Amino acid sequence: MAITGSGQNAVAQTNSQKFFSLFLPSAIALSPPLLVDSTSLSVSLSEAWIVIKEIEFESQEVSDGAEVDGDEVELQGPFYVDLLSNAPISFGNVSVPETGIRRIKMKLHEADSLPASAPVGLTSKSLYFSGTVNGVAFTYAADDSTELEIAGPNPIVPSSAQDMLVVIRMADLFKKIDLSSILVSTDIHSGNRVSAVGACPLIDASANDLYTCFRKGLETEGNFGNDDGDMDLDSSDETVD
């Protein structure tokens, strides 16, 4: 499982997930995409990284106090995934039970050391984007080790005949966030959340800052399911959404 920021459809994908087995390669991506925000401002990404340490599968869609822990997969990481790279990196093989999965949780990890290819901006971060909005430089960084969750009401059962995919559509993420408040070079992080009114109503109507929009948008614009072989999730695939 990996996450990519490719072209129109950003895909976090497995290449070889089979019955009871999940093979986790690196991101498969196109060149850094030209995107637009909710006001049609042009957005260009030059870096997009995520650091993942653990994965957990749950049969329930929503977390609550009575939740029974799912089948947790502890990766021998952390793994530094360049979302705009096509260089394969194996996360290893893990077992996934043949039960209905409605939610996947990916535990993020603060980067304590960097691979040579990673940008300095990823230091002590679990998520890092950099690029431009209408020609103005911006970065987004998260320094927490919380979980990124993708869920839906439909149970997905692992199948020996299909790959399991997690898809995060970067184009949809940026298209639902109003970045017009970025008028000068801006670093978005937990200490500078960048206040904005109505910044992303289609992601979270109560959000009043860009940091929240990005963090929650990574989950709302994600989907998880069984791929029919085209390395994407569309109307012909079984998905949790």
pLDDT at 189: 95
DSSP result, 113-138: S--TTS-GGGTT-SEEEEEEETTEEE
Q: Would the pTM count as exceeding 0.75? A: yes
What are the domain boundaries of the chain? Answer: 11-239
Count each helix (H run) and each strand (E run) in the chain, helices first. 2, 14
pLDDT at 182: 97
pLDDT at 225: 81
pLDDT at 224: 83
Each residue's pLDDT expressed in tens, for the chain with a length of 241 residues: 434 443 334 443 333 333 223 333 323 333 345 689 999 999 988 888 888 888 787 888 887 655 555 556 666 678 887 777 655 455 656 666 667 888 888 889 898 889 888 999 999 999 999 999 999 999 999 988 888 888 999 998 877 777 777 777 778 889 999 999 999 999 999 999 999 999 999 999 999 999 999 999 988 888 888 877 666 677 788 888 8
pLDDT at 90: 56
pLDDT at 73: 61
Measure the CA–CA gap between 31 and 131, rounded to whole angstroms.
13
pLDDT at 127: 94
Measure the CA–CA gap between 21 and 19, rounded to whole angstroms.
5
Q: What is the mean pLDDT of the chain?
A: 77
